[in-house]
Structure 1
Amino acid sequence: MARPQSTLTVDALIRDAARRLPDKEAVIDPGERLTYSQLDTSTRELAAVLVDAGVGTGTRVSLLMPNSTRWVQLSLALTRIGAVLVPLSTLLKPRELHAQLATAGVEVLIAVEEFRGHRYLDGLAEWLGLEVLPTGGERLLEAELPSLRAAWTPGELFAAAHDGLGAPDDVVDALGAAVTPADPMVTVFTSGSSGTPKGVNHSHESALFAVLSGQEARRVGPDTRLYLPMPFFWVGGFGAGVLSALLAGATLVTEEVPTPESTLNLIVSERITLFRGWPDQAVSVAALAAETGADLSSIADGSLPALLPAELRPRPGSRANLFGMTESFGPYCGFRADHDMPESAWGSCGKPFDGVEVRIADPVTGAALEPGESGEIQLRGKRVLQGICGRSREDVFTADGFYPTGDLGRFDDDGFLFYMGRSDDMFKVSGATVYPSEVQAALRAIEGVDAAFVTSVPGPNGPRVGAAVVSTTGATPESLRASAKGLLSSFKVPSVWLVVPSADDIPRGGTGKVLAGDLRDLLAAE
């Protein structure tokens, strides 16, 4: 993992990759492919247009568009000249979009006009009481969003770059060279299972070091051809996809709207070696491959098990659940994705990565706890967030600099971390404590279960355990209950069940997190 500290800026990484790997493919989508040399040239040309439009060091710029090579180009063009990227979810409604622009103090908005029925610029204009939201860099003066001064569509910026417009090369190069690892790089919005989304701030160093420290566990290297459909507006997409590939000199393959057919075509045609999509997506793709006889032999161990041959599939619980959060810029704990952990650690999240100090603290007193004792997980180190928009440092960190995550966990004697759920999620059934994450993990081990989501459901005699299960194989509440009884204590076995055919049927907020309240209402209706 050794890399000179001075190289932990986006500009330095792009220049280094273009010098070492000029003709290697950097990023591919179904309609375009770019080498590292082309990525360097195109992002410098886009940066020139952005600088000419008034974007520079510290300018806060939102990017609202689906996954594509263009998303990668724009995000890297912005961050290499020291602007602060604020990626926004393509799921946002106008009210949510307005709130996040205001919270992050966004100065420039880059947004596609429409995606999957969402007309972002029209919706925002209507919310603001405007006939239209002008783009093309026209000066905006909007009282409700005083920081916002201009909006662009990606097409407008790419057209200007194609025409050679923008600031001189030496100005762009000087801005890139002036960026330091300590400078702010990105604000990513996140939320818990409920509550208002928060803007989490990371520097070049905290974000890039976080990604770098998990590369070995993820098994991402220079020979990797990584398929990743996770939205780039999440840390799981931007960090584990865009930045992970850039740091490793790997090839990133993505698509806007995955379908089993389109994804399988990319796996075969691009000889994907590492598949990092969703479990239910992998199941659907594997079923289609079996039906059509498609060749999946390029997929390596460390990918989702459904796409692996039977002899390579790990036993349930034997591999680490890479564990992290937006505040740690992705996983801070894990184990090699292609290796089983010691049996005593099965079901754990692995061990903390370099650059992060993890302690288990008493949720009330804050005192550090010993191995075997459950408490709140707290983090400290150079990969941890710089802060949260609108909150003071005292509101975010403990007096000795730890970030209280709100997650519950415990270490075993060998240093493996076991996740026990959220401090605000755990509940009691007949006086016994239930951790939703524990029940979810057990349900996911049942054959035919692609995903599981667990929460408390009100009942006449107190809370009950409710489970929404994604299954494409015809699982029933009766069969699931029978299997769960062999895996869980009786009080942990769900008494309320909902079986759905797709993860899209699970209610989620604008940041993609499951909405606990809506899930609870859905289960209560059962």
Structure 2
Amino acid sequence: VGKGTRVGLIMPNSTRWVQVAIALTRVGAVLVPLSTLLTARELAAQLRAAAVQLLVSVEEFRGHRYLDDLAPRTELPALRQVWTADRLADATAGLRARRLVDALTERVKAADPLVIMFTSGSSGPPKGVMHSHGSALGAVRSGLDARCITPDTRLYLPMPFFWVGGFGSGVLSTLLAGAVLVTEEIPRPETTLRLLEAERVTLFRGWPDQAETLARHAATVGADLSALLPGSLQALLPPEKRAQPGARATLFGMTEAFGPYCGYPADTDMPVTAWGSCGKPFPGMEVRIVDPESGDPVPGGNVGMIQIRGPHTLRCICGRGREDVFTVDGFYPTGDLGRVDEEGFLFYHGRGDDMFKVSGATVYPGEVEQALRTINGVRGAFVTNVPTTAGQRVGAAVVCDGAVSADHLSRCARKLLSAFKVPTVWLPLTCDDDVPRGGTGKVNLPRLREMLSDANRDQETRVQG
């Protein structure tokens, strides 16, 4: 293993994962974190895409024996060796190995590749995104203030290390800040709550539905979470430490930016005019909004496609030429929709492939969701198109208090939105757990669309009856 060697790593969250990852990147190897959720077919595809030369893997995790299922070597021409984690530990032990590591470390430069991170695949097939040492560490440093991570922080992060949320926002953030990172192989509500209490965790970051699940179990378990500070996910904070809905920025980013490229200190309210936004671009990052069809910049305040440029963006995508990834002037098209207000705050309006037309007029799901979340009693809103024999309809799954009816939601929405944007298919939900999500916590839109289609059929049946 040396500078430029591409090393795949399959391992659950653990101190061993961090030790192996940092050891490899110190000597200039290119780390390729691989999901413990991959099937044999998916694993082979990612090993091929990243041209992995050495694979380091646990032998078994949650009943999955990765090495037993590995594809034949003829299908993986770049793969030279497969090691268990224990074998790697033995190979790197001893004085000679440490001297060799120190010598190799001195040759590593900021421009050298650090990692190939695969996207979660929520908006298409997973992509192998390469970042350099400079782009990745620069991205992490630029987001420390927004994440509220300091040397005194004790951060709990349930996100898997094989995704950028775990590796960048967790492992590298705490290493650069000199903070403490607390994690576990398999989070479960009771054991997680006990861990938060025992480790006096001050900052809980993860997905909102995880925090809400823990909050529902907290009273039963009787865990002391008083060490948690503002900046943690709100559901776990006592009422007096919570902000008003929309007042705090939701850090916004992607694997191609090595995590968030936009934000605001998570423990601080934004200006009222910016509520509901994702904050401002981090230093060095440029954000521009362009027309989805022409690619021309749109006037300020208008919704369009988000493009980003800066020192923290990806170096390349495996198997694609630069001309297929970036615009001619070096911007990366994110595929996200948004708008930037006159103060520079970015408002997210959903994925570009999520927008749809109703009677010829374009509906941006993010815009509708933002409006619905301002209705009293609404805790979450998720909007998509619902195909019917009469054309596309606007559907909304709304997490709300039990007393809030679909008729009430519709009346309120008509005061907030143009008529063609008002949902005509409603699916009230009482709990965020009812929202279909994928492994990364993102909403599973195909499943959501199925649920709304079922609700639409039930609605039509009642009308006919």
Task: Give the structure-1-normalised TM-score.
Answer: 0.79
Quote the residue 1:233 is aligned against.
162
Quote the residue 2:458 is aligned against.
none
1:399 paired with 2:325, answer no
The 5 Å alignment of 1:387-426 reads 387-426=316-355
Counterpart-to-counterpart distance in 2, 1:433 and 1:515 = 22
* Residue deviations 1:264-283 (CA, integer Å, cap 9, x gap): 11111000000102212212
Quote the residue 1:375 is aligned against.
304
Counterpart-to-counterpart distance in 1, 2:123 and 2:61 = 26
Quote the residue 1:101 is aligned against.
47
Quote the residue 2:422 is aligned against.
492
The secondary structure found in structure 1 opposite 2:300 is coil
Counterpart-to-counterpart distance in 2, 1:74 and 1:149 = 19
1:312 paired with 2:312, answer no
2:155–2:205 Cα contact (<8 Å) kept: yes
Counterpart-to-counterpart distance in 1, 2:7 and 2:257 = 22
Quote the residue 2:81 is aligned against.
150
| C-alpha spacing 1:446/1:75, structure 2 compared with 1 (3 Å) | farther
Quote the residue 2:127 is aligned against.
198
Match among 67, 70, 93 for residue 121 of structure 1: 67
1:442–1:484 Cα contact (<8 Å) kept: no
The secondary structure found in structure 2 opposite 1:63 is strand
1:485–1:493 Cα contact (<8 Å) kept: no
1:314–1:340 Cα contact (<8 Å) kept: yes
Which deviates more, 392-401 or 457-466? 457-466
Match among 43, 63, 66 for residue 9 of structure 2: 63
Matching residue's letter, 1:70? R
Counterpart-to-counterpart distance in 1, 2:258 and 2:316 = 12
Match among 77, 87, 92 for residue 23 of structure 2: 77
Residue 151 of structure 1, CA deviation: 1.0
Matching residue's letter, 2:89? F
* Residue deviations 1:125-179 (CA, integer Å, cap 9, x gap): 4xx4xxxxxxxxxxxxx22110011112223323555xx3585332211111110
1:280–1:450 Cα contact (<8 Å) kept: no
Counterpart-to-counterpart distance in 1, 2:344 and 2:113 = 32
* Residue deviations 1:449-501 (CA, integer Å, cap 9, x gap): 77654322211211223345678x8x59x746634653553643361537486
Percent pairwise identity: 62
5+ long unaligned stretches in structure 2: 456-465
* Residue deviations 1:100-131 (CA, integer Å, cap 9, x gap): 11111011111223222333222224xx4xxx
1:506 paired with 2:436, answer yes
Residue 289 of structure 1, CA deviation: 2.5
* Residue deviations 1:17-50 (CA, integer Å, cap 9, x gap): xxxxxxxxxxxxxxxxxxxxxxxxxxxxxxxxxx
Match among 159, 170, 175 for residue 104 of structure 2: 175
1:258 paired with 2:187, answer yes
Quote the residue 2:461 is aligned against.
none
1:468–1:500 Cα contact (<8 Å) kept: no
2:193–2:221 Cα contact (<8 Å) kept: no
2:435–2:448 Cα contact (<8 Å) kept: no
Residue 191 of structure 1, CA deviation: 5.1
Task: Give the structure-2-normalised TM-score.
Answer: 0.89
The secondary structure found in structure 2 opposite 1:123 is coil
Residue 293 of structure 1, CA deviation: 3.8
1:65–1:112 Cα contact (<8 Å) kept: yes
The secondary structure found in structure 1 opposite 2:244 is coil
Residue 373 of structure 1, CA deviation: 2.0
Residue 374 of structure 1, CA deviation: 1.9
* Residue deviations 1:241-265 (CA, integer Å, cap 9, x gap): 0000001000000011111111111
Residue 66 of structure 1, CA deviation: 1.3
Residue 504 of structure 1, CA deviation: 8.8
| C-alpha spacing 1:360/1:300, structure 2 compared with 1 (3 Å) | same
Matching residue's letter, 1:145? L
Counterpart-to-counterpart distance in 2, 1:167 and 1:378 = 48
Residue 194 of structure 1, CA deviation: 3.7
1:103–1:199 Cα contact (<8 Å) kept: yes
Residue 370 of structure 1, CA deviation: 2.9
Counterpart-to-counterpart distance in 2, 1:253 and 1:444 = 32
Counterpart-to-counterpart distance in 2, 1:301 and 1:222 = 16
Matching residue's letter, 1:516? L
Matching residue's letter, 1:104? A
Counterpart-to-counterpart distance in 2, 1:71 and 1:481 = 51
Quote the residue 2:364 is aligned against.
435
RMSD: 2.6
The 5 Å alignment of 1:214-233 reads 214-233=143-162
Matching residue's letter, 1:107? Q
Counterpart-to-counterpart distance in 2, 1:88 and 1:317 = 34
| C-alpha spacing 1:517/1:286, structure 2 compared with 1 (3 Å) | closer
